[in-house]
Structure 1
Amino acid sequence: MSYGGNVEGYLLKIDGDEARTVYCILDEGILQYFSRMGGELLGAIALSGSKVDVFLLPPVDELGQVPHQFRVDAQSRNLPNRRRNNRQPMNDGKIRTITFAGSTREVADQWAISILNWNRYSWEDGQIICSSKDEYRNLQKIISRSGTTNEKTTVCSTHYSEPRSSSIIKMHIF
């Protein structure tokens, strides 16, 4: 089985001392992450036209640390031409970095390979990367075992009519 092309599944998005369960979709050179499957778009990182690196972060055994992390770095390859009459600002070529965590090391590895190889396999059928049927629940258990506190926020439900709870986690850094 090749890992690349269009993939989707639940991951933890790590941002400083917070972790949040997000639903990620890698499709046509864009990695997007949502509040849940079919939920609000929280962010995206363009892989197309960028130099992309993915780093598997070393395992951590400390309380308050989420295991199975990987980091995605993307830097735009081309700076747009700036003409005298063009008011469009130049791209500064900054590296965009996002850290995610999978429910298992295998899930993190599969996502890392898929992100690195997205353009080689983009013509293949889409696939869902997960370690079990209920990936969301597995990620919540990882957060719980890491000793972090769970903060609830409200996001739209599948039908966009009833509020639904989503998790943002504050991690303790030691």
Structure 2
Amino acid sequence: MRLIGLAGWSGAGKTTLIRALIPVLRARGLSVSTVKQAHHGFEVDRPGKDSFLHREAGAAEVLVASPLRWALMRELRGAPAATLAELLAHLSPVDLVLVEGFKRETHPKIEVWRQATGKPFLYPDDKHVVALAADVTLPAAPVPVLALDDIAAIATHATTHAVPPEAVAWAGFRHGVG
């Protein structure tokens, strides 16, 4: 299993890019999983559903299963948030993991950048950015700049620069703060 991150500010298009990358990578014969960082509390089930009621009653974990899929929800209940390295350990083996967010972690990343966000680049302060996927040309950038709509080139760059999790010198940032 190898991983590559897609990092950038909100509104840059990370999720849109990942949605476009997955079918291209799968067409190349790769199995792909994703890890997405959420900055807010989120629900994967709805109030009133049995799984929600189990969690609300105090269950530490709730596993919901059907013939089509299963999902495991773990309530932290004040325990420290998981690091990216800890979260990756829960995934089943695949060829490539696309990590969305976790911009302060130390895995290789493709920075997704859009001029319209008005946000600064991450790469000047992050030596783990291996390329930029941008909507403008940036001839002075110290890393390769890929057109944000050139999904094939981004997919190639992602697979070329992906590394096994054990090759990353994890900084150990806690989920939700990095």
Task: Normalising by structure 1, report the TM-score.
Answer: 0.27
> Of the two structures, which has the highest relative contact order with CA contacts closer than 8 Å and spacing of 6 or more?
2
Normalized per residue, the structure richer in helix is: 2
Task: Normalising by structure 2, report the TM-score.
Answer: 0.26
